[in-house]
Amino acid sequence: MPETIVALATPLGRSGIGVIRLSGPDALSIAQKLTDATELKPRYAHLAELRDLQTSDAIDEAIITYFKAPHSFTGEDVIEISCHGSPVLLRQVIDICLRLDARLAEPGEFSLRALANGRMNLAQAEAIRDLIDAQTTASARQAVRQLRGEFSNRLQPIKDDLLNVIVVLESALEFVEDDLPETQTENIKKRLEEIAAEIGRIASTFQAGKLIREGLTVAIVGRPNVGKSSLFNAMLGSERAIVTEIAGTTRDQLHEKFTIDNIPISLIDTAGLRETSDTVESIGVERARRAMADADFVIAMLDASEAFTQEDEEILESVHALNHLIAINKIDKTNDVDDLVARLQFKIQNPKSKIAAVSAKTGEGLDTLKRSIVEPFEPQEFSDAGFLVTDARHHDLLVRAQNEIENSLSQLEQKMSEEIVLIGLHNALRYLGQITGETTAEDMLTRIFSTFCIGK
Ligand code: GDP
C-alpha cells in the first residue's frame, strides 16, 4: 500500500491563500482528524475549521476539497486544503499531517503517482513541469499542447505502423520458409522510409522548440566604460547594474532574464575586458572571457565618443568566429554616426559582423539591436508553427529511433535476415515508447521526476 504524501502546492511565502495537498489511502482520514468536517463529499468545496491536534484550538478556516480515487490528479484519494497563505500556519498544518502519518512528498512525486496510476503518460507529466517552468507565453503554450496529448497522439500512429511492420517480419520469420516475396519487401521498405521521415520531421522541430523553451544566452563584452552596464539596464528597462564613470566598476558579471519576440533571453553584463593587476577585477575579466565563449550571442561594444583602441581591436578579434554583433554606443555624443559605421565596416572586413549604432542613454537604436539578436535564429519561422519538441530527452530518443530504422532499412537493402533487421526495429519502438513512458526504466523515471518541484 502506498504511503500518504503531503506537500505545499503553492510557493512558501505570505499570500492570500496557500494550498496543501495530500495524496494516498489515508488522505481522507487525515483531513477528517485535522478538521471539524465530518462528511467530505467528493468534488465539493467544504468550509471547515482546522484544529490543533493537542489543544483542539482552531488554527485557521480553510476550504477542503476531496477528490476520491481514481478521479483525482494522482489517481489516489487526494485532499486539497486551501488555508490562508501564512508561512507559519502552512508549516503547522503540514506538521500536523506528518504527525498523522503522512510523509513529505519528494519532488515530482504527485506526478509520478499520476503516471503510475495511468492518469497521464510521461510526456504529459513532463509538460506540467515545463508549463510551471515556462518563461514565456510561447513556451507555456507548447507545454499545454504536450499536456493535452498532442505529442503522444502524433507518436501513436507511428508506433502502430512500426509495430505492423514488425508483425509482418516476425511472422515471416515464423512461417515463411523462403525469403519474403520481393513486392512485400519493397512495401516494407517504403513503409519504413515513411516512418523514419515522419520521425525526422518531428525531431527537426527541436531547434525551434529549444529556442522557445531555453532561449538564448547573450553576453555584453567590451573594454571598461564603453557603456555595457548602461546597455544592460536599458535592455532590461531597470537600473539593475551600477553605472559609474569609474572604469572597472562591474567586477563580476550580472545575469538577468527578459524576452525578445517571445524568446527568453538570459543577458549577462560582464566585467570590462582589459589587462588589470587588481585580483578581483582580473577574476571578473577571466569570467567575462568564459561567458563570451559559452554565450549563444555576444554583443561587442565600442564607444562612439572615443578613438578605437588596441583593446577594442582585440575584443573584435575574439568575437570574430562567434555569433555576434558590434554595438557602437554613445551615438548621442557624436554627429557622424554613418561615417563611423562605414569606417568600422571597412576596418573589420567581416561580412558576418552586423553593426548597430545605439545610445544606452537615450534608447536610440535599442529596438533594432534587440531584433538583430534574435534574427539569426529565425524566430518568425516557428512563431506560428505547430507542435514543437522542446525537451532534449525527447529529441534524443526520436533521433535514436530514426537511426535504428534507417539502419534496419539498409540491412533490408543488403538482404540480411529478418532476424537482424528486427533488432533495430524493436529498439526504435522501445525508444519511442520511452518518450511516453511505456518502456522507461525505473531509475530513469526517478531521474526525470527529480527535476520537478516539490508539491507537483
Ligand atoms: P561599462 O563600464 O562598460 O559597464 O560602462 P557604464 O555603463 O558603467 O558606463 C560608463 C559611463 O558611460 C557612465 O558614466 C555612463 O553614464 C556613460 N554612458 C553609458 N552609455 C552612454 C550613452 O549611450 N551615452 C552617453 N552620453 N553616456 C553613456
Predicted confidence (pLDDT) per residue in 80-135, tens digit: 999 999 999 999 999 999 999 999 999 999 999 999 999 999 999 999 999 998 88
Residue whose C-alpha is closest to residue 209's, from 382, 378, 384: 382
Compute the residue count for the chain: 456
Distance of alpha carbon 84 from the chain centroid: 31
218 and 282 within one domain:
yes
Low pLDDT (below 50) residues in the chain: none
- Exposed / middle / buried, residue 439 (Cβ in 10 Å: 0-12, 13-18, 19+): middle
- In this structure, are 315 and 346 located in the same domain? yes
Domain shared by 129 and 97, yes or no: no
Q: Tell me the C-alpha distance between 329 and 225, whole Å.
A: 10
Whole-number pLDDT of residue 275: 59
Task: Mark whether 166 and 252 lie in a shared domain.
Answer: no
The model's pLDDT over 15-74, given as tens digits with 9 standing for 90+, comes to 999 999 999 999 999 999 999 887 899 999 999 999 998 898 999 999 999 999 999 999
> Does residue 456 sit within a domain?
no
Q: How many domains does the chain have?
A: 3
For residue 225 and ligand 1, the question of a CB distance below 6 A is answered with yes
Q: What does pTM read for this prediction? A: 0.74
243 CA from centroid of ligand 1 (Å): 7
Residue 237 structural domain: 212-380
Best residue among 225, 226, 230 to mutate for probing ligand 1's pocket (most ligand atoms within 8 Å of CB) is: 230
Instruction: Judge whether 26 lies within some domain.
Output: yes
Please choose from 220, 223, 225, 232 the residue to mutate so as to test ligand 1's pocket, defined by most ligand atoms within 8 A of CB: 225
**Residue 359 located in a structural domain:** yes
252 and 371 fall within a common domain: yes
For residues 298 and 357, membership in a common domain is answered with yes
Confirm whether 367 is domain-assigned. Answer: yes
For ligand 1, the distance from its centroid to the CA atom of residue 323, given in whole angstroms, is 24
Both 298 and 362 in a single domain?
yes
Last residue of a domain, which of 333, 357, 380? 380
User: What CA–CA distance (Å, rounded) separates 185 from 205?
Assistant: 31
Domain shared by 227 and 366, yes or no: yes
Domain co-membership, 220 together with 354: yes
Looking at the domain assignment, is residue 421 inside a domain?
yes
Ligand 1 center to residue 289 CA distance, Å?
Answer: 21
The pLDDT of residue 250 is 57
Q: Quick one: 347 and 229 in the same domain?
A: yes
d(CA 293, CA 316) in angstroms, rounded, equals: 13
Asked if residue 113 belongs to a domain, the reply is no
CA 285 remoteness from chain centre: 30
